[in-house]
């Protein structure tokens, strides 16, 4: 008995379509076909070739293209839309919609199928005229790597797709739609945790810095009623010094946590600041000085303290950017008012098991958190 093995691979898939081609063909068939042929042969096909990919198939006024890189797919789309925007203004000018997804595809002969293809086609259908709509996974891979700003449009419900797809939209300069905050996606307060900066001058401490950031993201994500930006999206800012307000706009969050780590001998200093993503003002800040007798215990202790504070601050955030901090609380309300204590409890209930104390001694964190 012989078995045929299905060929699969991960790919960035670009779906493109010319806007209103049926109407144009009805009004001027000959002229529309000439302009369409010119678009494919003089602009679209060369742009794809320049980004080292292949056109899977042409469908009259549409095209399906496979890329090995999400960055190449977005760069290609920007190049095509940029030229078409320069040509716009005339009655006969053509415009395109482009959708891009990164996902698993199935290869059959010269054609491709699968989730990566289906989602890209649905995104293209919802893209703005002359614009680009990309999936969240594509945005996570391309943030900071392409010369364009994409607006978060929240959770989309593509036809025949069994899950919501978060989308990011680009439109030509001067036509960018209003930024939509992540709370429009979920109705929850929202926070992004940027990678903590290693101030030690020792590349080996980069791992420690990243682990602190990842632990805070993980623990915050377990808090009911709080939307936390995924690691891949927030770590796109690693090694940069972005304007926090820009980060808030790009990620659609109301608050951003940033910090730094500095080690000297067996001592470590960790600083953390919670910042209003709209005004750029500080909502909270703290500095932690600890011994490094057990690096894992230090990570757990500092992460727990930061999460304890952030769950109180985050619960005070309103449903949109700029609604964080004490002013968002009802008059007289305390940070540990009803609901916020439940959030802290949720963090502790879901916290991973404590690591064993070094050399059989008592866990350093237990001494500090003992309650009668």
Is residue 27 domain-resident? Answer: yes
Mean pLDDT of 338-361: 43
For residues 192 and 164, state if they share a domain: no
**pLDDT of residue 249 exceeding 50:** yes
Task: Cite the beta strand spans of 174-266 per DSSP E.
Answer: 190-193, 197-198, 227-228, 255-264
**pLDDT of residue 332 exceeding 50:** no
Q: How confident is the model at residue 312 (pLDDT cuts 50, 70, 90)?
A: low
Q: Residue 182: what pLDDT?
A: 35
Q: Residue 16: what pLDDT?
A: 94
Q: Residue 173: what pLDDT?
A: 61
> Tens of pLDDT along 96-133?
999 999 998 998 888 888 888 999 999 998 888 889 99
For residues 148 and 228, state if they share a domain: no
For residues 158 and 228, state if they share a domain: no
Q: How confident is the model at residue 294 (pLDDT cuts 50, 70, 90)?
A: low
For residues 271 and 298, state if they share a domain: yes
Is residue 2 domain-resident? Answer: no
Residue (of 137, 97, 146) closest to 11 by Cα position:
137
Q: What is the mean pLDDT of the chain?
A: 76
For residues 12 and 112, state if they share a domain: yes
Task: Identify the bridge partners of residue 14 per DSSP, sorted by sequence position.
Answer: 65, 100
What are the angstrom distances between the C-alpha of 271 and each of 197, 257, 274, 347? 10, 10, 10, 21
**pLDDT of residue 309 exceeding 80:** no
* Distance between first and last Cα of the chain: 70
Q: Residue 79: what pLDDT?
A: 93
Q: Measured between alpha carbons, how far is 220 from 343 in angstroms, rounded to an integer?
A: 10
Q: Which CATH number characterizes residue 342's domain?
A: 3.40.50.10610
**pLDDT of residue 318 exceeding 70:** no
Phi/psi of residue 104, nearest 5 degrees: -75, 135
For residues 121 and 204, state if they share a domain: no
Is residue 210 domain-resident? Answer: yes
DSSP 229: -
Q: Measured between alpha carbons, how far is 121 from 109 in angstroms, rounded to an integer?
A: 20
For residues 210 and 357, state if they share a domain: yes
Structure tokens at 71: 């960055």
Q: Residue 147: what pLDDT?
A: 87
Is residue 1 domain-resident? Answer: no
Total count of domains within the chain: 2
Is residue 265 domain-resident? Answer: yes
For residues 268 and 330, state if they share a domain: yes
Mean pLDDT of 47-64: 87
State which of 139-148, 181-190, 279-288 shows the largest mean pLDDT: 139-148
For residues 101 and 206, state if they share a domain: no
Q: How confident is the model at residue 91 (pLDDT cuts 50, 70, 90)?
A: low
Which structural domain, as residue segments, surrounds residue 348?
186-369
For residues 56 and 83, state if they share a domain: yes
Mean pLDDT of 318-343: 41
| Neighbour-count burial of 60, counting CB atoms closer than 10 A to its CB (0-12 exposed, 13-18 middle, 19+ buried) | exposed
Mean pLDDT of 173-202: 63
Q: Residue 5: what pLDDT?
A: 61
Q: What's the full length of the chain, in residues?
A: 372
Q: Residue 186: what pLDDT?
A: 45
Q: Which CATH number characterizes residue 60's domain?
A: 3.30.70.1230
Handedness of CA 142, 147, 153, 156 (dihedral sign): negative
**pLDDT of residue 179 exceeding 50:** no
What are the angstrom distances between the C-alpha of 226 and each of 29, 42, 52? 54, 49, 42
Which of 180, 196, 215 is the endpoint of a domain?
180
Tally of CB atoms within 10 A around 19: 15
**pLDDT of residue 334 exceeding 80:** no
Q: Measured between alpha carbons, how far is 175 from 239 in angstroms, rounded to an integer?
A: 31
Q: Residue 302: what pLDDT?
A: 66
Q: Measured between alpha carbons, how far is 184 from 165 in angstroms, rounded to an integer?
A: 14
For residues 11 and 128, state if they share a domain: yes
Q: Measured between alpha carbons, how far is 297 from 304 in angstroms, rounded to an integer?
A: 11
Which of 132, 153, 180 is the endpoint of a domain?
180
**Whole-prediction pTM:** 0.48
Structure tokens at 152: 């978060």
Which of 130, 163, 180 is the endpoint of a domain?
180
For residues 154 and 202, state if they share a domain: no
């Amino acid at each position: 008995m012989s078995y045929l093995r299905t060929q699969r691979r991960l790919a960035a898939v670009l779906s493109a379509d010319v806007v209103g081609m049926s109407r144009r063909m009805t009004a001027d068939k000959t002229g529309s076909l000439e302009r369409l042929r010119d678009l494919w042969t003089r602009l679209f096909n060369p742009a794809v070739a320049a980004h080292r990919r292949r056109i899977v198939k042409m469908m009259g006024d549409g095209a399906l293209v496979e890329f090995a890189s999400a960055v190449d797919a977005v760069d290609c789309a920007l190049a095509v839309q940029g030229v078409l925007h320069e040509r716009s203004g005339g009655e006969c000018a053509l415009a395109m919609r482009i959708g891009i997804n990164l996902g698993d595809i199935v290869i059959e002969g010269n054609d491709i199928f699968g989730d990566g293809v289906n989602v890209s086609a649905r995104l293209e259908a919802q893209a703005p005229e002359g614009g680009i709509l990309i999936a969240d996974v594509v945005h996570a891979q391309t943030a900071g790597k392409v010369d364009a700003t994409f607006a978060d449009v929240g959770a989309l419900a593509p036809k025949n797709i069994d899950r919501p797809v978060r989308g990011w939209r680009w439109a030509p300069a001067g036509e960018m739609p209003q930024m939509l905050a992540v709370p429009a996606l979920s109705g929850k307060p929202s926070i992004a945790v940027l990678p903590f900066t290693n101030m030690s001058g020792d590349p080996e401490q980069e791992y420690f810095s990243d682990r602190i950031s990842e632990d805070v993201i993980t623990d915050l994500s377990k808090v009911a009623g709080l939307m936390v930006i995924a690691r891949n999206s927030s770590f796109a800012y690693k090694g940069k010094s972005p304007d926090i307000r820009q980060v808030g706009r790009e990620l659609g969050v109301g608050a951003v946590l940033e910090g730094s780590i500095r080690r000297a001998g067996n001592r470590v200093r960790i600083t953390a600041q919670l910042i209003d993503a709209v005004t750029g003002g500080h909502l909270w800040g703290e500095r932690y000085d600890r011994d490094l007798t057990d690096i894992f215990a230090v990570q757990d202790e500092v992460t727990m303290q930061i999460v304890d504070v952030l769950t109180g601050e985050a619960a005070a955030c309103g449903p949109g950017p700029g609604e964080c901090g004490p002013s968002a609380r009802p008059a007289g309300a305390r940070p540990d008012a009803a609901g916020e204590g439940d959030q802290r409890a949720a963090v502790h209930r879901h916290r991973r098991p404590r690591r064993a104390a070094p050399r059989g001694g008592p866990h350093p964190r237990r001494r500090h958190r003992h309650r009668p």
